[in-house]
Structure 1
Amino acid sequence: MSNETPNQPDSGYSEAQIRALEGIEGIRLRPDMYIGGTDLHGLHHLVYELVANSVDEAVNGYATTISVTIHGDGSCTVVDDGRGIPVGPMPDMENRSALEVVFTEIHAGGKFDRKSGYTVGTGGLHGVGITAVNACSEWLEAEVRRQGHVWTIEFREGVVETPLKKGGATDQTGTKITFKPDGTIFQTTSFSYDGLHKTLQDAAFLNAGLRIRISDERTGQSDEFHYEDGLVAFVQHLNRTETAIFPTVVHVIGEHTGDTGPVGVDVALQYNDGFSENIRCYCNGIYNSEGGTHLSGFRSALTRVLNNYGRKENIFKDIQPQGEDFREGLAAIITVRHPDPKFEAQTKIKLVNSDVAGIVESVVAEGLAKFLEENPSVAKAILNKGLRAAEAREAARKARDLARDKSKVTSGGLPEKLRDCRNHDLNLSELYLVEGDSAGGSADTGRDSATQAILPLRGKILNVEKAQLVKVLANTEVAAIFKAIGISPMAEEQDIAKRRYGKIILMTDADVDGSHIRTLLLTFIFRHMRELVKQGCVYVAQPPLYRVLSKTRKNQSPRYVQTQEEMMAELLELGLGGASLLIKPRANLLAERLEQTSEPATEARELSGEDLRKLAERMFAMEEPLEALERRGISLRRLAIDHASPKGMLPRYRVLLGSDEHWFPNKSAMEEFLDSEQEKMGRELKTADEEMRQTAGESGSTDAEAAGKQESSEGEATEEVATLSMIDLHEVRTINEGLRALEADFNLNLNDLLPAPPVNAEPVYPYEIIGHDSPYRLESLRDLVPKLREIGGRGLSYTRFKGLGEMNPNELFETAMDPENRVLKQVTLEDAAAAEEIFRVLMGDHVEPRREFIEKHALDVKDLDI
């Protein structure tokens, strides 16, 4: 290396630009590295990390129940009845508690060796997950029941806010973690109940006997999962939409010693009369979406054992089935427990331990061979299905070769109705798969013909879930898609690199038929062009649902609205246009409770413009938390009048001591009260178990009184005044933040959220929206946002697009095809798999799964096109 200094200007790069990030700071700066993204998938990953820790407690014999609760303020709680995270001081970490260390230090945890009591393989390997949850949270509270006491600690943005505190006595153990995702990190902070539901149900299947509950305080939804049969029940669940070709689920269990210790293998499988392969792989309870060495071992064993049996029984004469033939119509779950698993990434999408393949192959081969010998009729059914699949594969190969031979197809091998583009650079070119000739005509006229190609599809394509490949390739619409894209079925990575377009974009109508066609297309692509999805080449266009115009504004350009939620925001915006809010003096229901820092108003005042918009935003943010509070059965009026603090804040903690109810604005006030009660009694208060606390929190004082009683040996209830139950009203945190903002910005308070008392039996309206065709009177500020939306709807002229063909070409290009304005959703393997599963449920031969789906989701429907 030369010692000469290059004759270049100083770029400003020096030691001052080098940063050494601490653990929490690094995670907050680059969250994608730790949780896989900042979208909904990454948001849910926070919950999965906590649940995985609880599952690790369960599989090692320390926990039996896990509960997940989505709160009205957007926070989430995960509770287990395991041993509880240790709370003692760590001398090598400046005597900080172990509880604080695991939440604030990367690579701190109890699973790095087997001396900690985690003798069965666990999912937490690196001591990163729980730290990442803390780092990506606006705030996090941990409560641990351990060593006969309740211990609590609080964090804000990953940093300790309230140090570890020792609370009341308890004979329970376990961990309770509540966190609120940080809105500055995530694109969305609204949890999906259905998304979490599926993963938690899978966890219950994978851990026989474990009870998992999920509840959503926003909607009142709840479910409980508990399966004694575990993997057998899981396979039956996968096959619930199909017809099994034999009633038995093959279940193989075994254990062999690997490179670092014993490796447990648990596999269940069953064949159905369909043509799709549905295999799910897990290691230490973690879903491996891209499989890995356990999948390789399973496939090898399956192919070898079935081929050996077929040759022995002389079943294969004219054709020899391959591995893919034996997997047609197969539903299987593969799980391994490994003492030292290695994954492709922190998100654990693929298992890479080399010793696992041989172990799984050995265990499955031995167990499956034994099953086939003991069940010859089932064995012949499996082999005959594989033989039929091989015959169909050979016929499909001939059809595929025909499709590849462009000399035998007109128009140079391209579909006649394809409106091709001029530039096929994969960085620029796009193929739109469009529903119908009408929409195809609009898209063709409006497109950028240099880079955008259009392929109109006639009606609904073939349901590939119910068809063999030879029939799929014979379908005109399906064949056109293959030809247009320029790849063959089941193309590998090197094949899709030769595709004719960089992006494949599905663009269908925003009605029921459009959704159906989109699901069919996603199912088709997932089954036959999966590599396109895997490489991120498939997108779904998001045409707007509405074109919006105001009746009062002239010469305006239309506004396009994508979703129902955006439409609600649009209505609010229109309601605000030209409006003012008149605030009149009113009776103060909280006069005896609130500190009066100023004289009560004697004259009306008016808010308009940005002030009114800001007030509406504040009230909108409080809508859902207020509704969640009332869903608990707690009246806002009663809580405000009886328990508000002198500064007009709602109490956050509800304490049930025996049958007596107490309310406290913050944790320190609650702890001060409990300390005084313990001092009066001369003994520690006993904390009720978590399940009783949840019941008391949901049902009110009736169950709260039950929390203060125990049964005597004769079965009679006896008073136990020392029983303590504490309920944290999570939504109150958000409500109080809103109340502080109302006070600071508008000199409004909790009193303004309550309906004014009637005068002479007549309602009183202290608030009035003016500036529109007539004044609109309100009893409380909680009516402000709904009324503004109602007003906005009256001044609105809008068109709801049910079909793309209803848009003129310029509109379609501007809203759904122009790269500067359009909204595209990239399809992931999880999206495609979910679409395929929903399609099997709704379009399968079995009625019961379809009935369950409709009954569960019927009340979720907001707009139905008939």
Structure 2
Amino acid sequence: IYITGSKELHDGPLEFEVAMQWNGTYTESIYSYVNNIATRHGGTHVSGFSAALTRSLNQYIKNNNLLKNTKVNVGGEDMREGLTVVLSIKIANPQFEGQTKQKLGNSEVASVVQTIVGEEFSTYLDENPQIARTIVDKAILAAQAREAAKKARELTLRKTALDSGRLPGKLSDCQEKDPTKCEIYIVEGDSAGGSAKMGRDRRFQAILPIRGKILNVEKARLQKVLQNEEVGTMISAFGCGIGSDNFNLEKLRYHRIIIMTDADVDGSHIRTLLLTFFYRHMPALIDNNFIYIAQPPLYRVTRKKVSRYIHSEREMDEYLLSLGISDVTLRLASHSESLEKDEVKTLLYSILEVEQLIASIERKGIPFREFLGARNAEGLFPRFHVILNGEHLFVHSNDQFVELKKQNEELQRKAHEETLASIPEEEQTEEMKAFHPRPLSFVELYEEGKLKGLKEKLAEYSFSLDQYMKAQGKLLDILDEAGGETPIYTLKELIEFLRLNGRT
């Protein structure tokens, strides 16, 4: 639904436009702007729009007696459930509240927006009764759900002991009572909860284990959210209530709520679900910086009774390689010189980057050997991989790519014309005659730029990218402390040897 309007004010014209659409979600999203400046906290233009929307729908409901079989009061909040709005006004002298210019304060704007939107929206409802009924039915359903959620929330609050101090059985609370000094860790499962309890400082650290993945609140009404056991446990533990009507930040028992899930895909999903819950139903916790995310390690490496925690695959690789080169020396075959430890590290980090780029290229379905073999006469790597008329092609420049796009369209046009010519003219329809070319099938090879730089780095050691997996004579020898020598013929062989050495 799109509405636009304007009115002459004493200090200049006011122009506004609004686009709105209801969808299947349960949240209201209003994006408002004044002279192209985003007003995150709304203002008089938003309040005028909301008032017009509520008044128009209420009048339509009353005129058509749509609540005769329903014992529920439909409010503005219910009417805006699932509504997305973009509202923009242009005004000569905007008056913003505060220094951030995120809330409009011009009082005359509200009445202008309310009047014009009210008239236009009422006309739209009268002219589109089927759509109007759909909007009203959604609002009535939202009101019924709100009433049910209110009862469920009251029941949840009675179960939680906000008045008596009783807390969930699975919560391992801390001794400190000052919320500014307390923190609670939300952990994944009872086993993680047991480990966290052993490592916590019980004076100020509380542990709350949750079972599995909580409800996705983005796809559920508040009534269903409150029926979820894990959500109820968190509400009880935090002590501050839930929802706009019953949330009280002053009753929050912990000023640091730390999400600590496993460092895997499931852990990331649980973390996202928890953040969605806080964002939708306890946004004040995010606004006041009370939500934190712990970053647990992926690995623990123990060597010679010394343990170290590793947080990423790249860090693990670098650590293993640093251990792998600690008791060996690398001697270049080209001029029998040994590399310093810093030089070895620089070389290995370059090879690690090559490995990452190879993985990226091969994820696109292109073998690395084939990619290397596609260099042109100047030694440049391809920028695109294209499939044209069933033929796989490597393209080295934007001009070539544009030319192939033209060829793709011409080939399809020719095939379309030949097909059309084979059909009697009296049997041809307009749909048959219409030509809709399919886009050229391609992948862009962003890696070529980085590989160019790595090629230059490897050249400093007289190595090439071809030597990553293709033997072209001995590259170097690895000398161990016992006097042994291991010949190395490829860069891949080098890095795998040092990884293995780091593990032993």
TM-score norm. by structure 1 comes to: 0.43
Percent identity for Structure 1 against Structure 2: 39
The Cα of 1:423 is off from its aligned counterpart by: 0.9
Equivalent pair of 1:256/1:263 in contact (CA under 8 Å) = yes
Deviations 1:828-853 (Å, cap 9, x if unpaired)?
A: xxxxxxxxxxxxxxxxxxxxxxxxxx
Equivalent pair of 1:633/1:700 in contact (CA under 8 Å) = no
Q: Which letter does structure 2 place at the counterpart of 1:507?
A: M
Match of 2:237 in 1: 484
Alignment of 1:239-318 (within 5 A): 250-257=1-8, 262-282=13-33, 291=42, 293-316=44-67, 318=71
Match 2:480 to one of 747, 757, 771:
771
Match of 1:573 in 2: 322
The Cα of 1:701 is off from its aligned counterpart by: 6.9
The Cα of 1:548 is off from its aligned counterpart by: 2.3
Deviations 1:687-723 (Å, cap 9, x if unpaired)?
A: xxxxxxxxx99536746999xxxxxxxxxxxxxxxxx
Alignment of 1:681-760 (within 5 A): 699=397, 702=400, 731=449, 735=453, 752-754=462-464
Match of 1:554 in 2: 304
**Which SS does the other structure have where 1:568 is aligned?**
helix
Equivalent pair of 1:532/1:538 in contact (CA under 8 Å) = yes
Counterpart-to-counterpart distance in 2, 1:301 and 1:481: 38
Q: Which letter does structure 1 place at the counterpart of 2:473?
A: V
Equivalent pair of 2:324/2:503 in contact (CA under 8 Å) = no
Alignment of 1:655-670 (within 5 A): none
Residues 443, 620 of structure 1: alpha-carbon distance in 2 compared, 3 angstrom cutoff? closer
Equivalent pair of 2:174/2:182 in contact (CA under 8 Å) = yes
The Cα of 1:619 is off from its aligned counterpart by: 6.6
Residues 754, 252 of structure 1: alpha-carbon distance in 2 compared, 3 angstrom cutoff? same
Equivalent pair of 2:97/2:105 in contact (CA under 8 Å) = no
Deviations 1:333-374 (Å, cap 9, x if unpaired)?
A: 33445677787899x783536365555444433332221111
Residues 269, 437 of structure 1: alpha-carbon distance in 2 compared, 3 angstrom cutoff? same
Counterpart-to-counterpart distance in 2, 1:775 and 1:263: 81
Residues 410, 579 of structure 1: alpha-carbon distance in 2 compared, 3 angstrom cutoff? farther
Equivalent pair of 2:162/2:236 in contact (CA under 8 Å) = no
**Which SS does the other structure have where 1:775 is aligned?**
strand
The Cα of 1:531 is off from its aligned counterpart by: 1.3
**Which SS does the other structure have where 2:297 is aligned?**
coil
Match of 1:352 in 2: 104
The Cα of 1:264 is off from its aligned counterpart by: 4.3
Equivalent pair of 2:94/2:106 in contact (CA under 8 Å) = no
Does residue 340 of structure 2 align to residue 608 of structure 1?
yes
Counterpart-to-counterpart distance in 2, 1:755 and 1:763: 11
The Cα of 1:290 is off from its aligned counterpart by: 5.0
**Which SS does the other structure have where 1:497 is aligned?**
helix
Counterpart-to-counterpart distance in 1, 2:244 and 2:399: 63
Residues 461, 620 of structure 1: alpha-carbon distance in 2 compared, 3 angstrom cutoff? closer
Q: Which letter does structure 2 place at the counterpart of 1:350?
A: Q
Q: Which letter does structure 2 place at the counterpart of 1:777?
A: I
Alignment of 1:309-458 (within 5 A): 309-316=60-67, 318-336=71-89, 350-352=102-104, 354=106, 357-405=110-158, 412-458=165-211
Q: Which letter does structure 2 place at the counterpart of 1:511?
A: D
Counterpart-to-counterpart distance in 1, 2:403 and 2:102: 50
Equivalent pair of 1:274/1:329 in contact (CA under 8 Å) = yes
Equivalent pair of 1:284/1:336 in contact (CA under 8 Å) = yes
Match of 1:499 in 2: 252
Q: Which letter does structure 2 place at the counterpart of 1:791?
A: F
Counterpart-to-counterpart distance in 2, 1:391 and 1:506: 33
The Cα of 1:562 is off from its aligned counterpart by: 1.5
**Which SS does the other structure have where 1:610 is aligned?**
helix
Q: Which letter does structure 1 place at the counterpart of 2:129?
A: P
Counterpart-to-counterpart distance in 1, 2:96 and 2:449: 38
The Cα of 1:579 is off from its aligned counterpart by: 3.5
Counterpart-to-counterpart distance in 2, 1:412 and 1:752: 72
Q: Normalized per residue, which structure has more helix?
A: 2
Match of 2:387 in 1: none
Counterpart-to-counterpart distance in 1, 2:59 and 2:275: 37
In structure 2, the gaps of 5 or more residues are: 362-367, 381-393, 405-446
The Cα of 1:327 is off from its aligned counterpart by: 1.8
Counterpart-to-counterpart distance in 1, 2:34 and 2:166: 45
Equivalent pair of 1:576/1:788 in contact (CA under 8 Å) = no
The Cα of 1:303 is off from its aligned counterpart by: 1.9
Counterpart-to-counterpart distance in 2, 1:576 and 1:755: 22
Residues 776, 508 of structure 1: alpha-carbon distance in 2 compared, 3 angstrom cutoff? farther
In structure 1, the gaps of 5 or more residues are: 1-249, 586-602, 641-695, 707-728, 743-747, 799-866
Match of 2:424 in 1: none
The Cα of 1:484 is off from its aligned counterpart by: 0.8
Larger radius of gyration: 2
Equivalent pair of 2:188/2:211 in contact (CA under 8 Å) = yes
Equivalent pair of 1:440/1:455 in contact (CA under 8 Å) = yes
Equivalent pair of 2:40/2:103 in contact (CA under 8 Å) = no
Residues 476, 788 of structure 1: alpha-carbon distance in 2 compared, 3 angstrom cutoff? same
**Which SS does the other structure have where 1:373 is aligned?**
helix
Residues 555, 352 of structure 1: alpha-carbon distance in 2 compared, 3 angstrom cutoff? same
Q: Which letter does structure 2 place at the counterpart of 1:752?
A: S
**Which SS does the other structure have where 1:519 is aligned?**
helix
Match 2:213 to one of 450, 454, 460:
460
RMSD between aligned residues: 4.4
The Cα of 1:489 is off from its aligned counterpart by: 1.5
Match of 2:499 in 1: 793
Counterpart-to-counterpart distance in 1, 2:214 and 2:402: 57
Q: Which letter does structure 2 place at the counterpart of 1:763?
A: Q
**Which SS does the other structure have where 1:606 is aligned?**
coil
Deviations 1:123-161 (Å, cap 9, x if unpaired)?
A: xxxxxxxxxxxxxxxxxxxxxxxxxxxxxxxxxxxxxxx
Counterpart-to-counterpart distance in 2, 1:545 and 1:775: 32
